[in-house]
Amino acid sequence: MSEHRFVESLPDLIEPAEYAEHPEGRLVRLRIEVSADGVRILGDAFRPAALEALLHELGGGPVEQMLCG
């Protein structure tokens, strides 16, 4: 199981204007950043459980999470 760290803010990858385009709530969006420090995967989803399952499968480190979006 991944370690969860609660943070004050994370970037929004899904804009409110997109909600109506995805009435079934299946949208998951990822941003992959590569730097000298390694790879960072940012994710946003209508259904957090779907995103958490995907991040768990990718593995590799702590998951930063906001308490409310």
Give the pLDDT confidence of 24-58 residue by residue, as tens digits: 989 999 999 999 999 999 999 999 888 988 988 88
* 23-30: long-range pairs with CB below 8 Å, 24+: 26/50, 28/54, 30/54
pLDDT at 63 exceeding the cut of 90: no
Task: Provide the pLDDT for residue 34.
Answer: 96
d(CA 55, CA 61): 9
Task: Provide the pLDDT for residue 1.
Answer: 60
Q: Where are the alpha helices (DSSP H) in the chain?
A: 48-58
Side chain identity at 11, as an amino acid letter?
A: P
